[in-house]
């Protein structure tokens, strides 16, 4: 379904630029080939890197102490960790049930969804931009932005939700590209399914989950006004009415999300009522807002943006060798990405670059929710999705530079190589490799990194 004939659709993807009449985006005149094979190769290569030594340490580390025991209790229908949704813990529990109670089983779901999310991110970029270089650059930038790699190797809920979020956005963008009604409908079905499961893993993806429906509505109104059915044309997705889109992108994800609570309805103690949707979420919000105890790694949004406050997931000495795993953003690509963000805002508004606008909006939405969030204790890993969409903006900026000649192209290549080089430089403290005594100070450049 990712075939070349889908490129016949106007270049709008998840932007809010009307698809009819078709207006060419200000991109290079060449027509790129779909890099599907390369996308698969990058995703599988990333998965292989994730699985290497993923069983170390052999014990719980950082927030695994919350989620793995809760998943084990879920197998016996004992309630635990009730402040978070169910699906992520269900996936970890299923992995433990199939593979046994061991570190590989705990962490395998995060690795699988991390690789799947990376692939989905690449396909999202392709359908949004139709740019081969931007697609491959985006995948490699995300794979090496540190956060995506580290979070894909720990048994937490975040990567399951983030990976499914990328899949849902990819399918939505593909639905806007396809030329057939049946394909558009199947894409929207898969989008709604993935988005529903995404928030079923963790609520942090909620801002990105609601954007496809809002985008479809805006595109529809621009084309058809407030009419519920289309006229001469069918709207953003061929053959899909506004009512049907509201079902696939609104009601269906909510139904999928609530279905993930079915096991909780059979708890042996205080089961969730099948019709108790509102009461359940009031209870969960109360639990989340009740956590006010100061935490040494507590941080706020502007510290995430500037890469000022990290989290040491692990630091221990084994057989006289230090091992560390730090949740840190790539200090090069995450900062250069902010410059690209300013460019993205300018070019999306001035030159109507809908592909750039899509990633700028996704970044702003997923970060903005934390600026005005009632959760009293926040952490750097909440920047996981904004940091990913930032890499999308950076990839599009580099692609624009590569389309030029001379120093622009050389500068883009230099930025890209340095971003990947920093990942290699920091790899020992991202993957828990043994370090010489006190060598970890080599990477601790800022006070907030200690």
Q: Are 123 and 170 in contact, with CB atoms under 8 Å apart?
A: yes
Residue 360 lies in a domain: yes
Confidence at residue 438, expressed as pLDDT on a 0 to 100 scale: 67
Instruction: Inform me whether the pLDDT recorded for 71 exceeds 80.
Output: yes
Answer yes or no: is 74 within a domain: yes
Q: What is the mean pLDDT of residues 299-321?
A: 90
The predicted model gives 217-236 an average pLDDT of 75
pLDDT over 50 at 24, yes or no: no
- Find out whether the peptide bond into 413 is cis, omega within 30 degrees of 0: no
100 three-state secondary structure: coil
* Cross-strand bridge partners of residue 191: none
52 within a domain of the structure (yes/no): yes
Residue 11 has pLDDT above 80, yes or no: no
- Is 189 within the bounds of a domain? yes
pLDDT at 231: 53
Which of 25, 28, 123, 132 is CA-nearest to residue 348?
A: 25
Q: Give me the pLDDT at residue 245, please.
A: 94
Give the β-pairing of 434-435 and 311-318: unpaired
Give me the pLDDT at residue 70, please: 98
Position 4 confidence tier, pLDDT thresholds 50, 70, 90: very low
- Has residue 251 been placed in a domain? yes
Q: Give Cβ neighbours of residue 305 (< 8 Å, ≥ 6 apart).
A: 338, 367, 383
Q: Among 43-47, 76-80, 402-406, which is the least confidently predicted range?
A: 402-406
Question: Tokens 């190769």 sit at which residue?
Answer: 41
Both structure tokens of 155:
């048994």
Give the Cα separation of 297 and 310 in Å (integer).
Answer: 7
Asked whether the bond before 410 is cis by omega within 30 degrees of 0, the reply is no
Instruction: For residue 435, name the pLDDT band (cuts at 50, 70, 90).
Output: confident
Asked if residue 61 lies in contact with residue 325, where contact means CB atoms within 8 angstroms, the answer is yes
Structure tokens at 271: 């089961």
Tell whether the model's pLDDT for residue 266 goes beyond 60. yes
Q: What is the pLDDT of residue 177?
A: 92
In percent, how much of the chain has pLDDT > 90? 77
Domain assignment present for residue 9? The answer is: no
Q: Are 420 and 437 in contact (CB under 8 A)?
A: no
Mean pLDDT across the chain, nearest whole number?
90
Confidence of residue 7 (pLDDT cuts 50, 70, 90): very low
The reply to whether omega before 21 is within 30° of 0 (cis) is yes
Residue 75 maps to a domain: yes
CA distance 325 to 141: 20
Q: Taking the model in full, what pTM does it have?
A: 0.92
Q: How many domains does the chain have?
A: 1
Instruction: Compute the average pLDDT of residues 200-228.
Output: 90
Domain that holds residue 143: 16-23+32-449
| Average pLDDT, integer, range 52-62 | 95
In a domain, 3, yes or no: no
Task: Give 181's contacts (C-beta < 8 A, 6+ positions apart).
Answer: 234, 238, 239, 240
Please determine, for residue 156, whether its predicted confidence score (pLDDT) is greater than 90.
yes
């Amino acid at each position: 379904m990712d075939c070349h004939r889908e490129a016949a659709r106007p270049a709008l993807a998840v932007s809010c630029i009307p698809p009819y009449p078709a207006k060419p985006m200000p991109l290079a005149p060449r027509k790129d080939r779909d890099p599907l094979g390369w996308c698969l190769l990058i995703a599988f290569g990333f998965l292989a890197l994730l699985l290497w030594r993923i069983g170390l340490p052999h014990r719980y580390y950082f927030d695994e102490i919350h989620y793995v025991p809760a998943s084990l209790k879920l197998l016996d229908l004992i309630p635990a960790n009730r402040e978070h949704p169910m699906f992520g813990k269900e996936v970890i529990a299923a992995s433990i049930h199939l593979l046994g109670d061991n570190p590989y089983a705990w962490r395998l779901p995060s690795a699988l969804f991390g690789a799947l999310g990376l692939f989905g991110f690449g396909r999202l970029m392709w359908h949004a931009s139709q740019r081969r270089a931007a697609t491959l650059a985006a995948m490699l930038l995300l794979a090496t932005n540190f956060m995506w790699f580290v979070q894909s190797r720990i048994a937490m809920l975040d990567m399951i939700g983030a990976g499914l979020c990328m899949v849902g956005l990819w399918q939505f963008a593909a639905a806007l590209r396809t030329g057939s009604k049946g394909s558009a409908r199947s894409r929207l079905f898969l989008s709604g399914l993935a988005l529903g499961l995404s928030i079923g893993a963790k609520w942090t993806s909620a801002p990105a989950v609601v954007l496809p429906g809002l985008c479809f509505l805006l595109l529809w109104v621009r084309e058809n006004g407030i009419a519920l059915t289309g006229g001469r044309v069918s709207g953003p997705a061929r053959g899909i009415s506004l009512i049907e889109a509201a079902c696939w992108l609104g009601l269906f994800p909510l139904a999928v999300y609530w279905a993930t609570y079915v096991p909780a309805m059979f708890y042996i103690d205080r089961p969730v009522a099948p019709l108790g949707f509102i009461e359940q979420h009031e209870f969960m919000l109360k639990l989340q807002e009740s956590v006010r105890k100061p935490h040494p790694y507590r941080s706020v949004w502007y510290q995430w943006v500037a890469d000022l406050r990290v989290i040491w997931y692990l630091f221990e000495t084994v057989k006289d060798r230090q091992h560390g795993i730090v949740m840190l953003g790539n200090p090069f690509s995450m900062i250069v990405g902010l410059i690209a963000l300013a460019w993205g805002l300018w070019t999306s508004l001035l030159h109507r670059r809908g592909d750039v606008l899509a990633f700028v909006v996704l970044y702003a939405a997923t970060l903005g929710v934390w600026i005005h969030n009632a959760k009293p204790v926040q952490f750097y890993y909440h920047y996981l999705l904004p940091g990913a969409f930032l890499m999308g903006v950076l990839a599009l900026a580099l692609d624009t530079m590569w389309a030029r000649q001379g120093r622009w192209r050389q500068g883009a290549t230099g930025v890209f190589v340095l971003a990947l080089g920093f990942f290699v430089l920091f790899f020992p403290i991202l993957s828990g490799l043994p370090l010489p005594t006190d060598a970890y100070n080599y990477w601790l450049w800022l006070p907030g990194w200690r």
